[in-house]
Amino acid sequence: MSASIRKDAYYVVLKRNLPPLAPSRADEGKRYLDELTSRLATLPKEPREFLSNRIRLHANNSLAKEMSDLGLQREDELSSFWVLTKMNTIEEATAFWTHKEALQALGDLSAGGLIFYAQPKICLDVSESSPIDFQQRAHMMSVIYSPPGVTNTVFTAYLKKFLDELVGFLQANKYEMLKHTLLQPMEGDSVPDEVYPSYLHPGPEIAVVLIEYPSMAALAKDLERPESKVLVENFFKLLPGIRATGFCVDIETNFRVDGA
């Protein structure tokens, strides 16, 4: 079964670093994000409307050992957050990211972030069959990096082959995964260079994977299965030099820009 592509959906994928936070203030990161949302609420109607359909993801420490045991690396994801914004067209997104007032409201963006446009490739989606609310489910994220010297064509073909085989593997081994989505930068439709020039504007040499489970217990159980170890080992072995991170994320979908 091949991964499907939702032709009507495009996303802006943004990774942004948090400012240095006081270790004694566990809630400071959330407070910073809430203040950022409040600033965005002052924008004119057009850019506010663009922001009305988005998801914010922030890494947490859940299942860090289980992912490390599988060979998934852990970068300093706790100091950053990700935002996925659905867009109707590339032109709509570019208009937002070149809107002066929007950029002013977002504030100073330090180096180390990234931004790209993507079209989702979904190889599994039984999420609607779950009675558990979306935000109460367990969510995992992975960032995959192409090996040095490997062309984007080879890397993309390798990911496609893996996804094509993944559904059968999950079904045969009765995994509890609800959804698997891959977001890879679109070639030929990149974010303009003048938008956050200190950010990485990657091409298809990286990919972001989003995985959804009914619960953290279900995700932990599947991560610890011997079949998972073999799956990940083969993923790394068949394309030497490929690298992947893995971490759980808290997801917010109910934060909105007032008046959008």
pTM, entire model: 0.88
CATH class of the structural domain 4-252:
alpha beta
| Euclidean distance between CA atoms 201 and 191, whole angstroms | 7
Which pLDDT score is estimated for 17?
Answer: 82
pLDDT at residue 258, rounded to an integer = 47
Cβ(234)–Cβ(127) below 8 Å: no
**Dihedral angle of Cα 136, 249, 146, 126, to the nearest 10 degrees:** 0
pLDDT beneath 50: ranges in the chain: 1, 22, 24, 257-260
Structure tokens at 86: 């659905």
In this prediction, residue 24 carries a pLDDT of 46
What are the residue boundaries of the structural domains of the chain, listed by start?
Answer: 4-252
Residue 6: per-residue pLDDT: 57
Q: Give buried/exposed letters for 78-89 (b at 16+ CB in 10 A, else e).
A: eebbbbbbbbee
Instruction: Report pLDDT digits (tens) over 178-213.
Output: 999 999 998 877 888 888 888 899 999 999 999 999
Which residue's entry shows tokens 């860090």?
64
